[in-house]
């Protein structure tokens, strides 16, 4: 019996981790993958460090919430711009000056906080803390280049990136809280060391770096402008071809057999594609998902600052990072298991179930009397956190046409970032007036509102995803 159990454990372990290990055995991939995670440490650490440090030196949660909101908004604006510049000029060319800006901003901010500089100075410096290269996107670009043409392994590599991102949060949250309680300078210094080490690991791995638009144009003996114009022409041709193919598939599903009607519809679709005419993607389903993602970001950021306030009131502030780490560990486990399984259950059922578990679970924090109770709830509901995001990304495949998938997902990300900044700012105001209980009241209202809003698009979401297909879920 024991041999059967061991054999079963080995089989499950191989099924979940075997594919990931195979990818990391490819030459040079482990170096830049791990380097990107280390360099990403500002994401889990900076917001918490700012909150704890500002509260310690200024005694003001409203200020701390507003500063983290400013940093989140700046990050939402800067990341797409840095990604565009990276595609245009290259990963090293953009990352190195960006890192220098971040280091200068970090040194300036911690100096101002520890010396209790005027608040307006902090608001001027904080936006520059968003000068973080898009390490995750750059790592995914390298995987895509290495595994070009291998769809299955590419999906697995993107899943691996998601798992590594969760590891970053697992490590970063407890470190941020522990170090920031000791000294804000120590927390920022450690983060800066991680940025430098991770950047060196990532950027010195040249063999896997994808060529920039500048490199590709130079290789073809043309200017970057000429290269972009040529690629734009190719994209227009591909857009017309895709529109024609999508129209044929749609008419086939609808049972249209009249060849004249098919030809006319295809010609119209091609003409619309070439003229730049777009069908609106803003149906009830997409609107509901985007507003839900705004609320999701809002109540999760409000939860973070409220937990810090709650722990401070109980003289347990140094343990807040471990509470957040439990959520990340649980989410990591959920990502590994959920991403390793092919699902027969309709997507809309999985979406609403996972969302309800996370939202209702976090909504119960206002009734918790001890920090360890919150940690236990986080452990239980965290397994649905990563699947909630996976399901949201999968919904975009059903709610928007393939040619506008990037646009739909970009709206999701932007709404979540804006919601995150709003949540921390609102919660900070209530905490200063009512203590941590006021913050948790905000969390509960936002969480339940998010769940209600998600059901406003129920009809379209259910209709578009109702068929129980075998879905390959990517983390």
CA angle 281, 460, 386 (to 5 degrees): 85
Instruction: In the chain, count H helices and then E strands.
Output: 20, 2
Tell me the two tokens of residue 89: 């000029």
Query: How remote is the C-alpha of 84 from its chain's centroid?
Result: 18
What is the model's pLDDT at position 474? 32
- Fold assignment, 281-475: Growth Hormone; Chain: A; (1.20.1250)
Name the superfamily (CATH) of residues 14-210: MFS general substrate transporter like domains (1.20.1250.20)
Q: Indicate if 281-475 has the same CATH topology as 14-210.
A: yes
- Mean pLDDT, 10 residues at a time, over the chain (475 residues)? 62 65 81 86 78 81 81 79 79 89 90 89 90 81 76 68 72 71 77 88 84 77 77 73 78 78 79 62 71 79 81 79 78 74 75 88 84 86 80 72 57 73 78 82 85 79 55 32
3-state class of 132 per DSSP? Answer: coil
* pTM greater than 0.85: no
**What tokens does 351 get?**
């979406």
User: What is the chain's length?
Assistant: 475
The Cα–Cα gap between 41 and 173 comes to 9
CA pair distance 365, 323, nearest whole angstrom: 13
Number of other CB atoms surrounding residue 443 within 10 Å: 30
Does an H or E element contain 343, and which?
Answer: strand 342-343
Distance in angstroms (rounded) separating the CA atoms of residues 11 and 8: 5
- pLDDT attached to residue 467: 42
The C-alpha atoms of residue 228 and residue 104 are separated, in whole angstroms, by: 34
What's the pLDDT at 104? 92
CA distance 364 to 203: 44
Six-digit token string for 135: 């390490």
Reported as type and span, the H/E element at residue 471 is strand 471-472
The closest alpha carbon to 139, from 233, 62, 220, 37, belongs to 37
Tokens (6 digits) for 412: 């999701």
Domain boundaries along the sequence of the chain:
14-210, 216-275, 281-475
List the end-to-end C-alpha distance of the chain, in Å, as a whole number: 34
User: Residue 264 is encoded by which pair of tokens?
Assistant: 């006319």
Check: CB of residue 180 under 8 Å from CB of residue 195: no
Point out which residues pair with 343 in neighbouring strands. 471
What pLDDT, on a 0 to 100 scale, did the predictor assign at position 125? 92
Q: Of 416, 473, 386, whose CA–CA distance to 156 is shortest?
A: 473
């Amino acid at each position: 019996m024991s041999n059967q159990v061991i054999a079963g454990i080995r089989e499950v372990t191989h099924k979940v981790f075997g594919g990931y290990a195979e990818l990391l055995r490819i030459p040079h991939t482990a170096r830049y993958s791990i380097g990107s995670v280390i360099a990403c440490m500002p994401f889990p650490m900076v917001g918490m460090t700012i909150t704890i440090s500002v509260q310690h030196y200024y005694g003001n949660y409203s200020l701390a919430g507003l500063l983290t909101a400013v940093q989140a908004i700046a990050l939402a604006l800067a990341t797409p711009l840095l990604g565009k510049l990276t595609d245009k000029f290259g990963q090293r060319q953009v990352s190195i000056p960006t890192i220098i800006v971040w280091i200068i901003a970090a040194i300036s901010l911690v100096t101002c906080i520890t010396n209790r500089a005027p608040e307006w100075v902090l608001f001027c410096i904080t936006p520059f803390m968003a000068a973080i290269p898009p390490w995750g996107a750059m790592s995914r670009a390298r995987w895509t280049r290495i595994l070009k043409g291998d769809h299955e392994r590419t999906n697995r590599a993107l899943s691996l990136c998601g798992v590594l991102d969760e590891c970053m949060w697992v490590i970063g949250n407890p470190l941020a809280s522990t170090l920031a309680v000791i000294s804000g300078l120590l927390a920022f210094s450690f983060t800066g060391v991680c940025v430098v080490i991770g950047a060196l690991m990532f950027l010195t791995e040249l063999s896997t770096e994808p060529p920039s638009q500048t490199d590709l144009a130079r290789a073809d003996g043309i200017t970057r402008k000429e290269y972009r114009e040529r690629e734009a022409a190719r994209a227009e041709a591909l857009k017309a071809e895709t529109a024609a193919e999508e129209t044929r598939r749609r008419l086939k599903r609808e049972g249209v057999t009249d060849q004249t009607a098919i030809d006319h519809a295809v010609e119209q679709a091609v003409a619309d594609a070439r003229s730049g005419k777009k069908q609106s993607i803003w149906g009830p389903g997409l609107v509901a998902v985007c507003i839900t993602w705004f609320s999701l970001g809002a109540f999760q950021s409000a939860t973070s600052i409220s937990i810090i306030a709650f722990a401070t009131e109980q003289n347990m502030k140094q343990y807040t990072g471990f509470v957040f780490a439990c959520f990340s560990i649980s989410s990591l486990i959920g990502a590994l298991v959920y991403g390793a399984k092919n699902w027969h259950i309709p997507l809309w059922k999985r979406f609403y179930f996972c969302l309800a578990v996370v939202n209702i679970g976090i909504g119960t924090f206002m009734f918790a009397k001890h920090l360890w109770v919150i940690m236990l709830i986080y452990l239980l509901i965290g397994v649905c956190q990563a699947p909630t995001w996976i399901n949201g990304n999968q919904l975009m495949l059903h709610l928007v046409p393939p040619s506008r998938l990037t646009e739909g997902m970009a709206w999701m990300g932007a709404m979540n970032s804006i919601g995150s900044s709003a949540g921390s700012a609102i919660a900070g105001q209530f905490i200063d007036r009512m203590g941590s209980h006021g913050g948790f009241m905000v969390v509960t209202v936002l969480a339940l509102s998010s769940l209600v809003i998600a059901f406003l698009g129920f009809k379209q979401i259910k209709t578009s995803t109702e068929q129980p297909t075998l879905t390959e879920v990517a983390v």
